[in-house]
Amino acid sequence: MKHTRSLQDLSRRGFLAGTGATALTLALAACGANERSSSSASSATPTKGGTLTILQSSPDINWDPAKSQGMAVTSLALVHRRLTTWRIVNGQEATVVPDLATDTGKVSADGLTWTYTLKDGLFLENGSPITSAQIKYGLERTFADALSGGLGYHKALLADTKGYTGPYQGKQLASVETPDEKTIVFHLAKPYGDWPWIASTPAFAPVPPHDNPATYARKPVASGPYRVADYKQGVSSTLERNPKWSAATDKVRAGLPNSVVFSLGQDQSVSSQRLIADSGADKNAFGADLVAAAQLAQVTGNPAAKGRLATASAGPLQYLAINVDRVTDPDVRKAIAYATDKKAVVAAFGGDLGAVVATTYITPGIPGREAYDLYPTSADKAKGLLKGKKVGKLVLLTPNDDTSVAVSQAIQQSLQKVGCRCRSTPFRTRPGPNAPLRATGRAMTSPSGRGTPTTRRPMPICSRCSRPARSATEATTSPATRTRRWTSCSPTPPPCRSTRRSRSGRPSTSGSPRTAPSCRWCIAATPSCTAPA
């Protein structure tokens, strides 16, 4: 969960924002159908007030913390505070910091018990004080079948959760105790040093008991700087100020705009054009989607737009996952690795702004990375390995979006050059949930799309980099933290394999469970990703 980069790495692809997106007080001169502003680009100094517009292609936002997979730096954090959150400062490692709690947690000597104390002066939007019981209830609801679908790492880590189906049948979770209104104690099944990171997931947001799980997503009770004023599925969601939120208790969120409007279901290319045009209300807008590869060229050719392109260095990792049950010969797998033209893959991502070649699981910019390349592109080596082998027709499954299809075509062509027959099959999936793969051919490879479970031996191809520079949270974070924020666009972490350290239950405030060599356990994204024996 740690996402940290250095300044010099900031040269990669990202998101577009309007010129006023960081300066939210802007005089608008409406003249015409699309509100053109006569004012020039405003200063980058953020001031309080105004409306921030967020253009996103996804038609829905689930404001229920139990159903959300939003990390601490995503939209949900505007409405819901958690026990801990992330502090992200440009050029520094991301750290976990207290949010509702006074610290990131006190761990017992055996590493099995974590205790948190709530800050003073915390209130929900309805005026009631935030209590440890509300956090416990919020956590318990995530076990209810009606509310499954969110980030549930805590379910695997807490003790005695087997058979627990949520609070709606009147049962409580024994492994979470609330000795008083300010204290909450978690009992884990086994020591877990990165528990403070887990406490930053949406499940650790307070929810007042007796909620209706069918409707809570539309009108949640806010603890953050904003409350949900309006939610129209597929159209928009408007956040307005939560008067009960106290900036004094929140060192991460600045809450600058008076309101935040999410324009949902926006066509991605039209959104990009609007942000390039940079007129009217769009001056205070940013795109929540990656800029498509085709439009990156247009943006880079336009100096005004290029200046508003939020870019990042390495971030999420995408890789080609080979089904080793079908491609059983290691030499053939190595040949596929050699044959794949990484430059062509990077070009399909939109060139250097779109991706860089990773060559290892740990992407450039993450501490602990050792640069090596076991399989540099070499058609000759691939041909040599394949000599005399009979390889069946390969099936390349790919998410059905423009970029992924372009990438799969690049891989397909690479493989064909060394004599492999390969068919690319796009299938429609959404980024996020684990996309199931079913092989239809004799052998199957799959470029790992976001969310593709890769329980097989993966081959690092390239790291795709992206981050919302002017994300909802960032635009509202305090000046000290309004810097580059590293948001993984890959909700499913790659299978972890780093496990060098002892089984320490000590708190780790900056270690990434899936990438840093110092961590003991990874977050289990796939069944294969489990703690070593």
Partner 1 sequence: MNDRIRFLLSRLLQTLLVLILIAFITFAVFELFPADPAQLACGKPCTPENLARARAYMGYDKPWFVQFWNYLTEIFVGTTYGTGAGAIRCSAPCLGYSFRLSSPVTDLIAARIPITLSIAVGAAVLWMVIGVTGGVVSALRRGTALDRSIMTFTVVGVSAPSYLVGLLGILLLGFKADIVPVAGYVPLSQSPVDWAWHLVLPWTVLALISAAIYTRLVRGEMLENLGEDYVRTARATGLPERRVIGNHVLRNIAVPVLTIFALDFGGLLGGAVITERVFSIQGLGALFLDAVGATDIQLVMGVTLVAAVAVILMNLVADILAAVIDPRV
Tell me if 22 contacts partner 1 by CB under 8 A. no
Q: CB burial class (10 A; 0-12, 13-18, 19+) of residue 229?
A: middle
Question: Which two structure tokens, joined as six digits, stand for 189?
Answer: 């099944």
* Long-range contacts, 361-364 (Cβ 8 Å, 24+): 361/317, 361/458, 361/460, 361/494, 361/497, 361/515, 362/498, 362/515, 363/314, 363/315, 363/316, 363/317, 363/463, 363/515, 364/9, 364/313, 364/314, 364/463
Residue 350 backbone class (left: φ over 0; alpha: ψ -120 to 50; beta: rest)? left
Rounded CA-CA distance 138/209 in Å is 8
Q: Is 145 one of the binding residues for partner 1 (CB under 8 A)?
A: yes
Whether 422 contacts 428, CB under 8 Å: no
Should residue 265 be labelled a site residue for partner 1 when binding is judged by CB under 8 A? yes
Position 235 contacts partner 1 (CB under 8 A): yes
Query: What are φ and ψ of residue 111, in 5° steps?
Result: 75, 10
Contacts (Cβ under 8 Å, ≥6 apart) of 185: 113, 114, 115, 116, 176, 177, 178, 179
* Of residues 312 and 523, the one with the C-beta less far from partner 1: 523
Q: Site for partner 1 (CB under 8 A): how many residues?
A: 68
**Binding flag, residue 150, partner 1 (CB under 8 A):** yes
Supply the minimum distance, in Å, between the C-beta of residue 139 and partner 1. Answer: 13
What does the longest C-alpha to C-alpha distance in the chain come to?
75
Is 148 among the residues that bind partner 1 (CB under 8 A)? yes
In angstroms, rounded to a whole number, what is the distance separating the alpha carbons of residues 425 and 397? 5
Q: Does 144 bind partner 1 (CB under 8 A)?
A: yes
Out of 53, 74, 488, 492, the only residue in the binding site for partner 1 (CB under 8 A) is: 492
**CA dist 158 to 155, 164, 189, Å?**
6, 11, 5
Instruction: Establish if 60 lies at the interface with partner 1 (CB under 8 A).
Output: yes
Least CB distance to partner 1 at residue 132 (A): 21
Q: Does 127 bind partner 1 (CB under 8 A)?
A: no
Stretch that binds partner 1, among 20-28, 136-144, 249-257, 323-331 (CB under 8 A): 136-144
- Using CA atoms of 342, 346, 348, 350 in order, give the dihedral in degrees to the nearest 10: -170
DSSP 416-442: HHTT--EEEEEE---SSSPPP----SS
Is 264 a binding residue for partner 1 by CB under 8 A? The answer is yes
Exposed/middle/buried for 527, CB within 10 Å: 0-12, 13-18, 19+?
Answer: exposed
153 binds partner 1 (CB under 8 A): yes
Q: Is 273 near partner 1 (CB under 8 A)?
A: yes
Residue with tokens 């939210």: 24
Strand partners, 272: none
320 touches partner 1 by CB under 8 A = no
- Identify which of residues 302 and 378 has a Cβ nearer to partner 1 in the complex: 302
Site membership for partner 1, residue 274 (CB under 8 A): yes
429 touching partner 1, by CB under 8 A: yes
Distance CA 153, CA 144 (A): 15
Q: What is the rounded CA–CA span in Å between residue 501 and residue 512? A: 13
146 binds partner 1 (CB under 8 A): yes
Q: How far is the CB of 185 from partner 1 (least distance, A)?
A: 24
Residue 305 or 435 with smaller CB distance to partner 1: 435
CB-nearer residue toward partner 1: 233 or 416: 233
**Residues in region 349-368 near partner 1 by CB under 8 A:** none
Binding mask 510-529 for partner 1 (x = CB under 8 A): -------------xxxxx-x
**Binding residues for partner 1 restricted to 67-96, rule: CB under 8 A:** 67, 69
Please, are residues 454 and 309 in contact by the beta-carbon 8 Å criterion?
no
Within 197-226, the residues that bind partner 1 by CB under 8 A are 210, 213-215, 217-218
User: Per rule CB under 8 A, is residue 446 in the interface with partner 1?
Assistant: no
**Nearest distance from C-beta of residue 69 to partner 1, angstroms:** 6
Question: Does the protein bind partner 1 through residue 267 (CB under 8 A)?
Answer: yes
Per-residue x/- mask for partner 1, residues 164 to 203, rule CB under 8 A? --xxxxx---------------------------------
DSSP state for residue 395 in the 8-state scheme: E
Catalog residues that contact partner 1 under the rule CB under 8 A: 32-34, 36, 59-60, 62, 64, 67, 69, 141-142, 144-153, 155-156, 166-170, 210, 213-215, 217-218, 232-235, 263-267, 269-271, 273-274, 277, 427-430, 433-438, 491-492, 523-527, 529
